[in-house]
Structure 1
């Protein structure tokens, strides 16, 4: 049986099509030994043989169409010699790939934007642009209100071959920027705000593509998107993401107390606010950020005490187990901070140990007054805070709710819900879909199960007898992630 090589057949078919087309169109000019010429550049897809173009990204395979291209000695793009296969070259075409590591005119404008083919009968040139990566805008910084003559910085990436920078208003007018510079890394544009700018968007037009970001002459109100945790450990560094965290003056927690600006830290991009919760609010609510643009309330509940099922302080209690202890952090040793009592599982489970490090508890599950009875079970997660001193693997946990030994989460390794990584040396927030613990389809069905158990059981399903386990848990709660 012969091996069928689709790639080579595809290329040979393309060369044949090119040859036929070139013969019909150029036969009168095909004097043997003539000066090489390039007429166009095409894709190597036979179905697009009529499509020509004058630019492409690195890594693209192209077909150069011309005349007297036989006996090619060298091919250059942007003044850099590129490799080619003579089997894919004829008198009327040359097929080759644009190198992925080609130096582009975006970083070196002294280079020629052209394809150059050298034969023993002369040189053929064709204007052709190798595109730089598309530009990106991550954020802008300026002192509000936007005043003509003041400085504005655009932070992003790939600001190559800028054609223009323009403020485009919502009314259809536009004001071009005349005074700007680009950093050596092509990731910052430093400009002077021109007269006449209005609310709308700020656009950077590059040769490859354009990119924009909303722009307001006055600072916009802050917006809150996500929490690192909706119930951060007291004293631990937490954060809120959003936009326009500019000149933040305070963070109010659920209407109960306020964290002043002196205890807050805002990222340079004005989209992340860091804080440490000094104490626990008494009930769930919303946080409010006050900044230069006004106030903003969080769209999701913060510190949902009502949803807690186990915290070993005033909700739920330890029942039985081994290789565990109650811990109240004192700042001198791991985990350094805690919200009252947390529970620790620690020690060295032996090889193939299936009955070690048990932590069985009586939990207090929210009523249907807190979580509506008709809430789909797939909307709910078991959320908790976790601190791992070091990597847990190859040990793992089995977690059980309401005594359901037939539907436990097995081989579980805690992962931070924000990064999906098994982070060690800090408190992280973990989510497990509630549907993994029960066959109930809504919360009413789950709540009706007459069992209050919440069990964590450590297993070492390996022959490694030198596994160290040192993990802390707190604030188990059931939350609706759709709200």
Structure 2
């Protein structure tokens, strides 16, 4: 450890130093030196991982947002700590004279010096330490179905577009898209979809590495309904099918369109706002839609909310294969389901075109009125599916519900 300051003492400086020292010693009795109050000049001996079972693992680098333990002397003297040019938050509850626990800021450094800077009194001390920026982390897309030549939006973290090593987005088929922009927070990419893009995972590459997405572009896995090859025929309401106004995302889709009052559960209009898929009536086999771990799976679909949506929930209700020719489960107070109410936080919701909706299967634990069912659904309940805009237990405003839905599927997270 060393100080950044340089002291050049000569000539008149010595006289000034003598006077300063005399004043310091005279005032010490009334105003103790700051280091004496804090415990002395700080010194780092080593840095280790905070996890107890790995406390013997000494480190000289760590990733953004990771927690480290600094071991040394007089660490209570430190009032500020910086990793490169990003300031860390110091919690005095996690600082003793010999140990300091700190979280590395989750911010991309603007200037990389590979040092920790510690302010103690009037001194700034340094310690060599490398903050590792993770590779890109693509997490989702605004819409997973985008035509060649159109712009797609990818969300995630650590999208670093270095001038010497530009950010790259590789679409399935090993074709590279043109990066239009990257957000200032490095969490959003706008990219033009290249000609020849296929179905599959997207790879994002930066100066810090590359990562393949868990989501699929133009996902074609495990469709339950797409209204081109898989429909809800056989149900009391198979849904109003359309392909134009708006233009479909991939062929036909189901449209919900009709007036809705804001009062909780007051409007009941299955003809305008629902479909029933009963596998037995539809001619499908007695097999669940998904046989994997539901705690690690999500329901996805593409949705276009055309008008301001301000009332009721989109209820997504899975039913066993044995359930057919009845809608009693919609409000029986026994059948858990998922509720999508994106307007609740702001009072209204609409989309600027098609968007991909993702709902964890673990969230399918509500009743029709928004109360908690206490447990989520199981695989044996995945033998039918009803969508119905109604209730949800949230008061809204009178509106016209106009939403279009396509490509309903259950896929791994």
* 1:308 matches 2:223: yes
2:259 to 348, 360, 371: 348
Hey, what's the Cα distance between the residues in 2 that align with 1:402 and 1:280? 39
Match of residue 377 from structure 1: 294
- Deviation track 1:421-453 (CA, whole Å, cap 9, x = no partner) reads 98643435331425626978864x355xxx443
2:141 to 224, 229, 234: 229
**Counterparts of residues 234-313 of structure 1 (less than 5 Å):** 234=146, 235=150, 237-243=152-158, 244-246=160-162, 247-248=165-166, 250-254=168-172, 256=173, 258-261=175-178, 264-267=180-183, 272-277=188-193, 283=199, 285-289=200-204, 296-298=210-212, 300-303=214-217, 304-313=219-228
Change (3 A) 1:157 1:276: farther
Q: Which has the higher contact order (CA 8 A, sep 6+)?
A: 2
Match of residue 52 from structure 2: none
* 1:425 matches 2:351: yes
**Counterparts of residues 121-160 of structure 1 (less than 5 Å):** 131=79, 135=82, 156=86
Match of residue 92 from structure 1: none
Q: How far off is 1:359 after superposition?
A: 2.0
Change (3 A) 1:249 1:347: same
Q: How far off is 1:229 after superposition?
A: 2.9
Q: How far off is 1:40 after superposition?
A: 9.4
The answer to whether the Cα contact below 8 Å between 1:316 and 1:361 also exists between their aligned partners in 2 is no
- Deviation track 1:311-333 (CA, whole Å, cap 9, x = no partner) reads 323344576649955244667xx
The answer to whether the Cα contact below 8 Å between 1:325 and 1:345 also exists between their aligned partners in 2 is no
- Deviation track 1:253-309 (CA, whole Å, cap 9, x = no partner) reads 22x262433x543345666432254689664x3223456677x35052523412332
Q: How far off is 1:420 after superposition?
A: 12
Hey, what's the Cα distance between the residues in 2 that align with 1:476 and 1:462? 25
Q: How far off is 1:461 after superposition?
A: 6.4
Hey, what's the Cα distance between the residues in 2 that align with 1:317 and 1:462? 28
Q: How far off is 1:347 after superposition?
A: 2.6
Which of structures 1 and 2 has the bigger CA Rg? Answer: 1
Q: How far off is 1:204 after superposition?
A: 4.1
Match of residue 205 from structure 1: 117
The answer to whether the Cα contact below 8 Å between 1:135 and 1:211 also exists between their aligned partners in 2 is no
Q: How far off is 1:391 after superposition?
A: 5.4
Uncovered stretches (5+) of structure 2, i.e. residues with no partner: 1-28, 41-75, 90-106, 324-328, 366-372
Change (3 A) 1:327 1:361: farther
* 1:470 matches 2:402: yes
Hey, what's the Cα distance between the residues in 2 that align with 1:207 and 1:287? 44
Change (3 A) 1:344 1:479: same
Q: How far off is 1:395 after superposition?
A: 2.0
Q: How far off is 1:382 after superposition?
A: 1.5
**Counterparts of residues 40-79 of structure 1 (less than 5 Å):** 53=38
- Deviation track 1:336-386 (CA, whole Å, cap 9, x = no partner) reads x73433433233224511334432154889999996x4x333222212233
- Greater displacement, 226-235 / 459-468: 459-468
Change (3 A) 1:392 1:370: closer
Q: Secondary structure at the match of 2:221?
A: helix
Uncovered stretches (5+) of structure 1, i.e. residues with no partner: 1-35, 42-50, 56-127, 138-153, 160-186, 194-200, 332-336
Hey, what's the Cα distance between the residues in 1 that align with 2:310 and 2:381? 31
Change (3 A) 1:158 1:320: same
Hey, what's the Cα distance between the residues in 2 that align with 1:429 and 1:157? 36
- Deviation track 1:205-259 (CA, whole Å, cap 9, x = no partner) reads 141798998469xxx9x934233239613246321535444444753322x2624
Aligned length: 292
* 1:457 matches 2:375: no
TM-score where L is the length of structure 2: 0.51
The answer to whether the Cα contact below 8 Å between 2:309 and 2:349 also exists between their aligned partners in 1 is no
Hey, what's the Cα distance between the residues in 1 that align with 2:129 and 2:388? 48
Change (3 A) 1:412 1:190: closer
Hey, what's the Cα distance between the residues in 1 that align with 2:273 and 2:138? 34
Q: Secondary structure at the match of 2:228?
A: coil
Match of residue 76 from structure 1: none
More strand by share: 1
